[in-house]
Amino acid sequence: MIPPVDLVVPVKVLTLAKSRLRAGRADGAAAHRRLVLAVTMDTIAAAAAAPGVRKVLAICSDPVATAVLREHGVPVVADEPDAGLNAALRHGARQLLAADPAAVTGALQADLPALRPAELSAAVAAALAAFGAAGRAFCPDRAGTGSTLLLAAPGVDLDPRFGAGSARAHAESGAVPLNGPWPSLRCDVDTEADLAQAARLGLGPRTTAALAGTRRAS
């Protein structure tokens, strides 16, 4: 029997999120916040639509983002104790495991606006087949240095190690790298060049609308 897969997605305070992307754009702070929220919502919507994914839990303490997420039916847990990305992911994983200890738990980055549900589903299936002794697997980003997805087998500590050089950190911790043909899962967006690459793959509807609104206002 294939276990259910539950994911936690970290959502940063909008005013602090994606500073490198903001530096590459000239459309103002409010437009940047709208873009970041649109990217987040497209990522979560795609993840929730992926076959095999049962639940997507957002970890978020931004009041605007929390309200929008809940309006769209996304469960949200406050970022406690607000001690950084990996602490937030551990907090979310504990919430998921408390609800169902038999589930596969995972962490998905929130900056994947071109994410295709079928690609995430394929990566999840690959992880279920590839869990090594550590019971964990991860998907490297497009550059091969970061990570966009981390999964842990039922009963296994997620042990997230996101941040600079996370692909190496996850591999050194025993997690199995997943290297399938999933460009939309690998295309995280930190810079204007990343956003352009995601656009070539095909952006989600909210990100597309946010960018179109920016162009009309400029």
What pLDDT tens digit does each residue of the chain (218 aa) get?
678 999 999 999 888 777 777 665 666 888 889 999 999 999 999 999 999 999 999 999 999 999 999 999 999 999 987 789 999 999 999 999 999 999 999 999 999 999 999 999 999 999 999 997 789 999 999 999 999 999 999 999 999 999 999 999 999 999 999 999 999 999 999 999 999 999 999 999 999 999 987 655 44
Residue 37 lies in a domain: yes
Residue 214 lies in a domain: no
Residue 86 lies in a domain: yes
Residue 163 belongs to a domain with what CATH number?
A: 3.90.550.10
Rounded CA separation 210/25 (Å): 13
Residue 216 lies in a domain: no
Residue 16 lies in a domain: yes
Three-state SS at 106: strand
Residue 142 lies in a domain: yes
Residue 32 lies in a domain: yes
Contacts of 164 (CB under 8 A, 6+ apart): 145, 146
Kindly tell me the burial class for residue 209, based on how many C-beta atoms sit within 10 Å of its own C-beta (0-12, 13-18, 19 or more): middle
Q: Which domain holds residue 140?
A: 5-208
Residue 36 lies in a domain: yes
Rounded CA separation 90/96 (Å): 10
Overall number of domains in the chain: 1
